[in-house]
Structure 1
């Protein structure tokens, strides 16, 4: 007899979107029609156990995952994108789906590991003066002071409890993305080879997580506010007033020295000087025109010569490695707890996940490692 299984349509849709598959593509992978997959997602049709197994296999999840509704959904006001305004809705859905699954996996990891406490302050700000103060308060909250450059933005956000990863196959569509969940998640672009731009992305996402809690972002106003926060966080106002070169002409050598010291792009430094009225509007326009003509509108001097290597995430990789010591079966076992197999874990973490060793399931195997 053909046993019928009930599928949680939202779970099926979530796994499908995480891969970026269309209804037709999933149907083709299991030998079914687009209409059939749509009916499964809407709950108007059940599937045989064989079909559930096939769907789980091609989507990188377990059959149990497809039958259990996800306990909490991500709301639009919890998601902050930085990237192309013309980004297709399909890409947005794909990133949100992966972020939701990563959030689920991280919550499971926390049942076995002690991760850093989440310590993003809540400082609403909208005016330019409020944003400057919010950036200074955030630096003081994290013990960074306001007089010198930040050594590592990656360490700042990870020490504050955020999980950082990247979605390599989507890096040409997004610059950065963050989710304001119980434990914040920041997704970066793997194509961002410039340390300065990478650091600015992290500071920008910090601005959203600190100033825009409970607000839906993505419009010009909130993006400008996050930009201003990033600039003020990376290069505090008092330090700018002390160190920014002044004069009737642009001192390019001094600006590039500032770039190496503060790890900010020259374009961002120029904007910072303009915002604080240390450059006139005419000087600001002239400086930007010069960068374009010099071929440094996107890739600047020192960006690709090894002088400023990009920062690598550490927290997620360390947590996954620690699971091997904390849990029998390691990361694979924790993935099973939430219904995610190795292919899906690799998709949402951006890291290689070893396949579980079948031999460990044997009753004759004694695990010696703690």
Structure 2
């Protein structure tokens, strides 16, 4: 029975003898999700977070990861406070306030977060972050636009900076994170200077040029303009209607010109451990009770199989104990 259950869960029998030291709880997670996301999918995402944290903890026994370095910030009390927090965070990480962020994934990884993409996570959950000893940020690849990936990551950075110890997911905390993401990706002074102003109609060519420079969707740019009072509610509504009418509600023009960013930190750690073959990786994941196929789902890395006459030590121990 135990072997069958282990096969279904993509773990090893050793997993059942290794209790989680500090399992991830739902209240530890900041979800960016649709209200219609089933509870089972949320629970699945949390369970994967526990497995990912166990994997990262084990990796840290073998490789040195960047120190966790997120600025401390009190919960914002106004939109002005959010703008200031976003600006201070950029300056804290040495990003300045004048130019685009080249790679949002690398920003989080340089700050010590582990960024992963789950290919089979539902499109009802855009992203989630886990406020743990080492933050973990998970982004679904169900939505393919590079601009949306960057915005999702900035949104999760907002939670990790502003919402430590705060249960999120309500309209207030999500609104705060949305405002932070826009302010972080395009600071207000630079935005006001570059946003194309016209009296009546939007200069769409200029908006798309701004999109390509800052790697932020036109939808997010027009929302940022509205938040900063550069367009009124009627103009903002007109811009959204135009995007829908032209079939750009989900995929915009030039999305293909902004590639999806790849996670680097986790892959670099795995590559270092596997530089002489995957035997050490098999040993590592066996120690925490993760089967190779679950390891691949969590990391995207496909392990080379071990020779048939070779077993990782934890699995060998289990087989010997069962034999006895």
Specify the alignment match of 1:41 in structure 2. Answer: none
Specify the alignment match of 1:183 in structure 2. Answer: 134
SS at match of 1:247: coil
Of structures 1 and 2, the one scoring higher in RCO (CA 8 A, sep 6+) is 2
Distance 2:181 2:276 in 1: 37
Specify the alignment match of 1:267 in structure 2. Answer: 219
Residue 353 of structure 1: how far off its partner (Å): 2.5
Check whether the contact 2:12–2:290 (CA below 8 A) recurs between aligned residues: yes
Distance 2:51 2:306 in 1: 20
Specify the alignment match of 1:227 in structure 2. Answer: 178
Distance 1:209 1:163, change over 3 A: same
- Of 241, 244, 247, which aligns to 1:295? 247
Check whether the contact 2:217–2:252 (CA below 8 A) recurs between aligned residues: yes
- Of 150, 157, 161, which aligns to 1:206? 157
Calculate the aligned-residue CA RMSD, in Å.
1.8
Residue 52 of structure 1: how far off its partner (Å): 2.0
SS at match of 2:150: helix
Specify the alignment match of 1:308 in structure 2. Answer: 258
Residue 324 of structure 1: how far off its partner (Å): 2.0
1:335 aligns with 2:285: yes
- Of 298, 317, 321, which aligns to 2:267? 317
For structure 2, list consecutive stretches of 5 or more residues without a partner in the other structure.
313-324
Specify the alignment match of 2:197 in structure 1. Answer: 246
Higher radius of gyration, 1 or 2:
1
Residue 53 of structure 1: how far off its partner (Å): 2.7
Residue 186 of structure 1: how far off its partner (Å): 1.1
Distance 2:254 2:14 in 1: 50
SS at match of 1:169: coil
Check whether the contact 2:14–2:286 (CA below 8 A) recurs between aligned residues: no
Check whether the contact 1:342–1:354 (CA below 8 A) recurs between aligned residues: no
Matches within 5 A, 1:325-364: 325=275, 329-358=279-308
TM-score, normalised with respect to structure 1: 0.80
The count of corresponding residues between Structure 1 and Structure 2 is 310
1:87 aligns with 2:30: no
Distance 1:183 1:356, change over 3 A: farther
SS at match of 1:213: coil
Distance 1:260 1:283 in 2: 22
Residue 88 of structure 1: how far off its partner (Å): 0.2
Residue 361 of structure 1: how far off its partner (Å): 6.4
TM-score, normalised with respect to structure 2: 0.91
Distance 1:296 1:120, change over 3 A: same
Deviation per residue, 1:335-364 (Å, 9 max, x gap): 0111112022122223323333456669xx
Specify the alignment match of 1:19 in structure 2. Answer: none
SS at match of 2:120: helix
- Of 51, 54, 58, which aligns to 1:104? 54
SS at match of 1:188: strand
Residue 55 of structure 1: how far off its partner (Å): 2.2
Deviation per residue, 1:5-35 (Å, 9 max, x gap): xxxxxxxxxxxxxxxxxxxxxxxxxxxxxxx
For structure 1, list consecutive stretches of 5 or more residues without a partner in the other structure.
1-50, 363-370
Residue 233 of structure 1: how far off its partner (Å): 0.2
Q: Which is worse superposed, 261-270 or 76-85? A: 76-85
Check whether the contact 2:278–2:304 (CA below 8 A) recurs between aligned residues: no
1:153 aligns with 2:114: no
Residue 328 of structure 1: how far off its partner (Å): 8.5
Distance 1:77 1:57, change over 3 A: closer
Check whether the contact 2:18–2:288 (CA below 8 A) recurs between aligned residues: no
Distance 2:205 2:277 in 1: 54
Check whether the contact 1:327–1:333 (CA below 8 A) recurs between aligned residues: no
